Chain A
Amino acid sequence: MLSVIKLRLLKMKQEYPVILFLTLMALGLTFIFGKSMGEYRPSVIVVDQDNTEYSQKVIEKITEENPYKFQYMNYDDAISEVEEYKSIAAIVIEEGFEDSIENKNSPKVGILKIKDDLDSITLKNALESNISRMIGDIRLSSVIVNELDKSINIENKEKTFDSTYKKISEAWKYRKPIKVTKDFIDSSGEGFDQMNHALIGFSIFFSTYTMVFGIGTILEDKQNNTWSRMLVSPVSRGKILGGTFITTYATGALQLIVLIFGGKYLFNVDWGNSTLGILTIGAAFVFAVTCFGLLLSGIVKTHQQLAAMTPVILTSTAMLGGAMWPLEIVNSKIILFLANLTPQKWAIQGMEQIVTYGKGFNVAIIPSLILLLMGSIFLSVGVFVINEK
C-alpha cells in the first residue's frame, strides 16, 4: 500500500498547482463574497420636484436610512437609471408636497420601480414611516407653537417652530417608542455572519473538487492500463484502492485545514469555541466526499466523463446543501428534503452551529455520524461497482 501512496504523492506533486489554485480560489472568493455581501447597499434615486423646505426635510429623513445608497437626479435620468436596473427604485417627491402638508392634505410621494422585491418593499415601508413621522412632527410642532403663542405671545413664531420641530426630531433618535431587542438562546455568538457563511460554504465547496478528482486517479490508471498491471502484481486490489483513498483523504483534509486556519488568520474569522468540533465535522466530511468520489469513479468509464460530471454534481449538491446561500432562507420543503441527502448540508449545518451560534463540540456529533454513515454507503457501493467492472 505504501508504494501506491508514494506513487499518488509523486503524481500529486506534479498536480500541486491545481490544488493550490483551488485553495487560493476558496480563500479569495470567501474574502470577496464575504466583504461584498456584508456591504451590500442597493442604490436608490431621489427626485425632488417640490424643492421646498419640507421636501428637503423629508429627504434628510430618508437618507438617514443606512441600508441604501442615495443619489440625486432629475426625473428623466431617474427613469433611465431604474430601467437599466442600476438602481432598485426612485423616490419622487412631487410638486406641491409642502403645500399639501401645510393644508393638511396627504402629500404625494411616488416610488418608481421595475418590480416588487424585498428591497423595494422595505424601501416603501421605510419611506411611509419616515414621512408619517415627519408630518406628525410638523403637526405636533405647529400645535405646540400655536398653543404657546396663545399663552405667551411668541415673537418669532417661525424660529420657535423650527426649534420645536428640531427638538422633536432629535427626541425620536434617542427615545423610540418601542425598542426591539434580539437575543440568541443558548449562545454567546452574535448571530448570522455573511463572512462566516461564505468561508464555510466555499471551503466545503472547493475542497470537494480536490477529493473527487483525487480519488478519480483510478480512472486515469484504467486509461493508462496501469490499473490492470497493478491488479496482476502481488499487491491486492484493496491495498491499491486503500493507498489511493488514504492519499486523497489526507490531501482533502490538509486543504480543509488550510482553509479553516487561512480564514482564521487571514480574515480574522472566528471559528467558534470548538476547534475540535470543526475538525471532527471536517474529517467526517472529507471521508464522505472521498467515498462519494470513489462511487462516481466507479460509475463513469473515463476521467473525461468524471471531469464533465463532477462540476454539475458538486455545484448542484453544494447549492442544495447550503454552501452558496444559507438554507434558512429556503422555504421549499422539497429542496430542504433533498438538502438532507447531501454531505455539504450536514457539514455546513454542523460548522455553523459552532461558528455562528457559538455552540460546543456536542453539536458536531450528529452531523459527523451522518457524514460517516453516508461515506460508508458510498464506499460500499463504490467498491462493489469498481470490483464488478
Chain B
Amino acid sequence: MTLLKVENLKKSFKDVNAVNDITFQVNKGEIFGLLGPNGAGKSTTISIISTLLNPTKGKVFYRGEDIFKNPKAIQEKMGVVPQEIALYPTLKGYENLKFWGNLYGLKGNNLKKRIDEVADIVGLKDKLKTKVENYSGGMKRRLNIAAALLHEPEILIMDEPTVGIDPQSRNHILDTVLELNKKGMTIIYTSHYMEEVELLCTRISIMDKGQVIALGTKDELVNIIKGHKKIELTFDNIPPNLLDKLKIIEEVEEVDSKDNIIILTMKNGDMAFKDILDKVMGTESSILSIDIKKPSLEAVFLHLTGRALRD
C-alpha cells in the first residue's frame, strides 16, 4: 500500500534547481532510502515532504491526500528527525521531550509514559535529568530521534541522522531504526553513507544533482552493474606483459593496475576464471590473493555518474 507519493516534484532557489522533477512512492511498512552525495537534493526533498518548504512544482500525497491542502493534519502523522540537532541545549533531556510531546498534544500520564518509552528506545533513560548541552554528540542525536517518536508517528522521516557521531552511537541509531520498522513504522531515511542505506533500506532512490537517477530494491540497483563486476588480483610483483595478456580475454572489459594490484572489470556475469587463471599461472610471479568485489551501491553510483558518492 502506498503511504506517500511524490509526483514530479521540483524546487528551485533562484537559478538553482535543488530538486528537479522527481517522482517516487513510499510503501507502508518499508524503509525507503534516499541516497546521494551532499547537495544531491535529499534534504530539500525531505523539507518539502515534511511541509517545511513549498515545492515550486509537483505534488506530494499522503494516503492519497495532497499534503499542502491541510498540512497540520498530516504533520500529526509524521515524525521528523532533522539533520541538525533541533533541541534546547539549556533544558534537560526530559524538559525537551516534554515540550515536543506537548506540541503534539500529549499531556499528563500519557506524556510521561511516552517519554519513558522513547527514552528507552534510544537508550537515554538514565540521562533525562541532564541538560542537553552536557550530552555527547551521539546522545544529542539519539534525543533528536526520541523527540520525533513521542507521538507515535505513522511515518518517520530521518534526514542524515548519523552525521558526525561515534560508531557506537551510530550502531545504536541503526539498530533503533530497524527495531522501529520491525514494529510497523514506515521510515524515510536519507544518507550519503552507502553502507547505512544498504543495511537498512527496503527500497532505495539514488539522487544526484536534484534528480532520481536510480530507484529500486538493493538487488535491483546492483543488477544495473551486474555485468561490471570487478576482480582484484594482488601480486608480489605484477608480471611483465600480464596486463596485455589479460586484456585479450573476451569477457574482460577493462584492465587497470595500481601498485601490485590488477583490477579487472568484467563484461557480464561470467567471471571467466579459467581464462584468467591460465594467464596468471603462465607467469613467474606469485599471486597473493584474488578478491571478487561484491557490487555495491557505491559502484552503482560510480557507474551512473562517473563520480564516487563522497566526491
Query: A residues bordering B, Cβ < 8 Å?
Result: 2-4, 6-7, 10-11, 14, 224-226, 228-236
Within the complex, which residue of B50, B72, B87, B95 is in contact with A226, where a contact is CB–CB below 8 Å?
A: B87
Q: A7-B99, A10-B91, A229-B80 are in contact. Are A234 and B105 (CB under 8 A)?
A: yes
Task: Tell me if B22 is interfacial: C-beta within 8 Å of chain A.
Answer: no
B90 nearest in chain A by CB position = A14
Give the chain A neighbours of B8 by CB distance below 8 A.
none
A231 to B82, CA, bound (A): 12
Task: Tell me if B135 is interfacial: C-beta within 8 Å of chain A.
Answer: no
- Whether B91 lies near A232 (C-beta < 8 A) is no
Give the chain A neighbours of B102 by CB distance below 8 A.
2-3, 6-7
- Whether B90 lies near A233 (C-beta < 8 A) is no
- Whether B103 lies near A3 (C-beta < 8 A) is yes
Within the complex, which residue of B76, B82, B99, B147 is in contact with A6, where a contact is CB–CB below 8 Å?
A: B99
Task: Tell me if B304 is interfacial: C-beta within 8 Å of chain A.
Answer: no
A233 nearest in chain B by CB position = B103
> Could you tell me the distance in whole angstroms from the C-beta of A276 to the nearest C-beta in chain B?
37
B80 nearest in chain A by CB position = A232
- Whether B103 lies near A11 (C-beta < 8 A) is no
Main secondary structure on B side of the interface with A:
loop
* 0/1 string, B79-107, CB within 8 A of A gives 1: 01010111111110001000110111100
Within the complex, which residue of B80, B91, B104 is in contact with A11, where a contact is CB–CB below 8 Å?
A: B91
Task: Tell me if B277 is interfacial: C-beta within 8 Å of chain A.
Answer: no
* 0/1 string, B131-173, CB within 8 A of A gives 1: 0000000000000000100000000000000000000000000
Give the chain A neighbours of B80 by CB distance below 8 A.
229, 232
- Whether A10 lies near B75 (C-beta < 8 A) is no
> Could you tell me the distance in whole angstroms from the C-beta of A266 to the nearest C-beta in chain B?
33
> Could you tell me the distance in whole angstroms from the C-beta of A159 to the nearest C-beta in chain B?
86
A46 to B91, CA, bound (A): 66
- Whether A3 lies near B99 (C-beta < 8 A) is yes
A232 to B86, CA, bound (A): 12
- Whether B103 lies near A224 (C-beta < 8 A) is no
Query: B residues bordering A, Cβ < 8 Å?
Result: 50-52, 72-73, 75-76, 78, 80, 82, 84-91, 95, 99-100, 102-105, 147
Within the complex, which residue of B50, B72, B86, B104 is in contact with A224, where a contact is CB–CB below 8 Å?
A: B86
Give the chain A neighbours of B95 by CB distance below 8 A.
10
A229 to B80, CA, bound (A): 8
- Whether A228 lies near B88 (C-beta < 8 A) is no
Question: Which 8 pairs show the lowest CB-CB distances between chains A and B?
Answer: A3-B102, A225-B86, A229-B86, A225-B84, A233-B103, A232-B50, A234-B76, A232-B80
> Could you tell me the distance in whole angstroms from the C-beta of B156 to the nearest C-beta in chain A?
12
Q: A10-B91, A225-B86 are in contact. Are A234 and B52 (CB under 8 A)?
A: no
A197 to B82, CA, bound (A): 51
Give the chain B neighbours of A235 by CB distance below 8 A.
103
A233 to B91, CA, bound (A): 19
> Could you tell me the distance in whole angstroms from the C-beta of A309 to the nearest C-beta in chain B?
23
> Could you tell me the distance in whole angstroms from the C-beta of B149 to the nearest C-beta in chain A?
13
Within the complex, which residue of A10, A226, A228, A236 is in contact with B52, where a contact is CB–CB below 8 Å?
A: A228
Q: A6-B102, A232-B52 are in contact. Are A226 and B75 (CB under 8 A)?
A: no
- Name 24 interchain pairs, CB-CB below 8 A, sorted by A: A3-B103, A4-B103, A6-B102, A7-B88, A7-B102, A10-B91, A11-B91, A224-B86, A224-B87, A224-B88, A224-B89, A225-B84, A225-B85, A225-B86, A226-B86, A228-B52, A228-B86, A229-B80, A229-B100, A229-B147, A232-B80, A233-B75, A233-B103, A234-B73
Give the chain B neighbours of A234 by CB distance below 8 A.
72-73, 75-76, 103-105
Give the chain B neighbours of A3 by CB distance below 8 A.
99, 102-103
Give the chain B neighbours of A226 by CB distance below 8 A.
86-88
> Could you tell me the distance in whole angstroms from the C-beta of A225 to the nearest C-beta in chain B?
4
> Could you tell me the distance in whole angstroms from the C-beta of B286 to the nearest C-beta in chain A?
57
> Could you tell me the distance in whole angstroms from the C-beta of A229 to the nearest C-beta in chain B?
4
- Whether A232 lies near B85 (C-beta < 8 A) is no
- Whether B90 lies near A11 (C-beta < 8 A) is yes
A224 to B88, CA, bound (A): 7
Give the chain B neighbours of A4 by CB distance below 8 A.
103
A4 to B88, CA, bound (A): 13
Give the chain B neighbours of A229 by CB distance below 8 A.
80, 82, 86, 100, 147
B101 nearest in chain A by CB position = A3
A4 nearest in chain B by CB position = B103
A70 to B168, CA, bound (A): 80
A3 to B96, CA, bound (A): 12
B47 nearest in chain A by CB position = A228
Given contacts A226-B86, A228-B52, A234-B73, 6 further A-B contacts (CB under 8 A): A225-B82, A225-B85, A225-B86, A229-B80, A230-B103, A234-B103
Give the chain A neighbours of B104 by CB distance below 8 A.
233-234
A2 nearest in chain B by CB position = B102
Give the chain A neighbours of B82 by CB distance below 8 A.
225, 228-229
A10 to B100, CA, bound (A): 14
Give the chain A neighbours of B51 by CB distance below 8 A.
232
